[in-house]
Amino acid sequence: MNFAVIGYPISHSLSPIMHHANFKALGRDDEYCALSIDPKHFHHIKDIIDEKALDGFNVTIPFKIDIMNYCDEIDTTAQMIGAVNTVLIKNNKWFGYNTDGLGYLLSMQDYLRDDMNVLILGAGGASRAISYTLMQNHRVTVANRSLERIQSWPFEIECLTYDRLDNLSRYDLVINTTPVGMTGYDEPSIIRCHNLNKSCVVSDIIYTPEKTAFLKEAKLQDLKIINGLGMFVMQGAKSFEIWTGDVADVEAMTLAVQTALKGRNQC
Ligand code: ATR
């Protein structure tokens, strides 16, 4: 079978390495390539994909919203999230899904209990996917610089601006979905980790760098920290399952991504 990821820019994507590791581990001879699509040519996406005779593809920045206009059907979760990151092609029809939220949930299985108090920092696409998924079983609060974005979501969720954040000790899980704390962002982390409960799990959806400034600060407070590598792997594993109906080899995928990241860091 033939798969791809479309995006712009896309050359640094680890998806081809990750998916090939899975194909190899399962003894499959599928292909997965990275397709760079200039946004100026995105309106030709049907022809571009048809020409490649793909069975499915992943969608990344900046096309996760625009691709929805080209799907014949979009599942309910992707509609609520307002973005598609996985397209299944069957009988020439495009079926849109979003595996980001489920990928996050599965990557956190060891740390989630029912009914947790969850604080999500940021209100972009990743935040919406994680918020919608986690709110099915947990009490989720979303914090952002402004509330407009959150108020346009098609589901109701508790939200507040950063300056209204108090009583941080009530949260069991804090997730950073903003770029603050990445290399190059000089601003201090949005919340101060010493105000968190000692049992709070601190998660950042970024995985390059391996530890953002936010995670380093949490680590200094002896809190459990988790970066976004697991989410990346699990969203890919779920895409593979949508395309093939087979269970992905998550261990092989994780190892491939970790090895590729180590190689990059040595360059
Ligand atoms: P994605 O869709 O990949 O999750 P995004 O749409 O670029 O990312 O959203 C990024 C989030 O990070 C947004 O919530 C954004 O806040 P605003 O809605 O207020 O713009 C947040 N963000 C980006 N830069 C930030 C900064 N310097 N400080 C605080 N929040 C920031």
User: Is 234 close to ligand 1, i.e. is its CB under 6 Å away?
Assistant: no
Relative orientation angle of helices 100-107 and 229-244, to the nearest 10 degrees = 120
Task: pLDDT band for 185, please (50, 70, 90 cuts).
Answer: confident
Question: Among 145, 187, 214, which is best to mutate for testing ligand 1, by the most ligand atoms less than 8 A from CB?
Answer: 145
Burial 166-178 (b: 16+ CB within 10 A, else e): eebeebbbbbbbb
Q: Which of 28-37, 109-118, 149-158, 185-194 has the lowest mean pLDDT?
A: 185-194
Question: What integer pLDDT is reported at residue 267 of this predicted model?
Answer: 60
Question: What integer pLDDT is reported at residue 198 of this predicted model?
Answer: 97
User: Is 85 close to ligand 1, i.e. is its CB under 6 Å away?
Assistant: no
Summary mean pLDDT of the chain: 96
Rounded Cα gap, residues 131 and 101, in angstroms: 8
Cis omega (within 30 of 0) on the bond before 39?
A: no
Question: What integer pLDDT is reported at residue 65 of this predicted model?
Answer: 97
Is there a contact between 20 and 51 (Cβ–Cβ < 8 Å)? no
Instruction: Using a cut of 0.75, tell me whether the model's pTM lies above it.
Output: yes
Res. 175: pLDDT tops 80: yes
Output the CA 87–ligand 1 centroid distance in Å. Answer: 25
Out of 40, 46, 52, 64, pick the active-site residue: 64
Beta-sheet pairing, 117-121 with 173-176: parallel
pLDDT tens digit string along 142-153? 999 999 999 999
Res. 266: pLDDT tops 90: no
Token pair, residue 167, equals: 């009583």
Q: Is 90 a catalytic residue?
A: no
- Ligand 1 atom closest to the Cα of residue 190 is 29
User: Is 145 close to ligand 1, i.e. is its CB under 6 Å away?
Assistant: yes
pLDDT tens digit string along 47-73? 999 999 999 999 999 999 999 999 999
